[in-house]
């Protein structure tokens, strides 16, 4: 058995029950839908087995599952609206956990970009520079900034979709 299979077995044994209960509340008691979301979450965990450990995977798994539920809700409803989740439906976690998890996932996705693409995204979106200002800071033409931004955002979107942060 390879390491990925072993990690997924451990994740399944440890997190399947709590994750299923969490998702079941999010999908209004639909056991089949909850099971589908849990299975998809564990499939994505298998794809990231080299990055996950069973003891620390909980936040990652819960975030992926929540995002899969939201993505499924949007697809079924045909519009981009929020999943109606009552605060009582959420598992007891510290305030701002979603924000911290999302920030962590965005930081991970940014690290996956090439240095040139990452620097353009940082200048334009984090430092809120104009294209002209970013071009001056980076020492490249404005057209290069625009091009790098286009490809960086595409790569960032793909990396976040892979992590279950945005709808696919």
Global pTM value: 0.45
Write b or e for each residue in 79-93: b if 16 or more Cβ atoms lie within 10 A of its Cβ, otherwise e.
eeeebeeeeeeeeee
Q: How far is CA 9 from CA 5, 14, 19, 79, 132, in A?
A: 6, 9, 14, 36, 51
Angle (CA) 130 135 136, round 5°: 100
- Which residues neighbour 117 within 8 Å (Cβ) at sequence distance 6 or greater? 148, 151, 152, 155
Task: Work out the burial of residue 68: count CB atoms within 10 Å of its CB; fewer than 13 is exposed, 13-18 middle, 19 or more buried.
Answer: buried
Q: Can you give the pLDDT of all 168 residues of the chain as single tens digits?
A: 567 678 778 888 888 888 888 888 888 888 888 888 888 888 888 888 788 888 788 888 888 888 888 877 555 545 444 444 444 544 544 445 566 666 777 777 888 889 999 999 888 888 888 999 999 999 999 999 999 989 988 888 888 777 776 554
Cα torsion 120, 147, 102, 57 to 10°: value is -100
**φ, ψ dihedrals at 111, nearest 5°:** -65, -25
């Amino acid at each position: 058995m390879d390491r990925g299979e072993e990690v997924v077995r451990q994740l399944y044994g440890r997190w399947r029950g709590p994750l299923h209960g969490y998702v079941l509340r999010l999908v209004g008691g639909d056991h089949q839908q909850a099971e589908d979301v849990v299975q998809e979450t564990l499939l994505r965990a298998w794809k990231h087995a080299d990055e996950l450990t069973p003891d620390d995977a909980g936040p990652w798994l819960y975030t992926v599952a929540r995002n899969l539920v939201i993505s499924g809700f949007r697809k079924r409803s045909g519009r981009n609206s929020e999943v109606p989740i009552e605060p009582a439906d959420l598992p007891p976690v510290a305030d701002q956990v979603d924000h911290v998890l999302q920030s962590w996932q965005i930081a991970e996705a940014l690290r996956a970009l090439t240095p040139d693409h990452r620097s353009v995204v940082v200048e334009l979106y984090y430092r809120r520079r104009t294209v002209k200002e970013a071009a001056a800071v980076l020492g490249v033409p404005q057209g290069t900034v625009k091009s790098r931004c286009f490809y960086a955002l595409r790569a960032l979107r793909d990396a976040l979709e892979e992590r279950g942060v945005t709808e696919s």
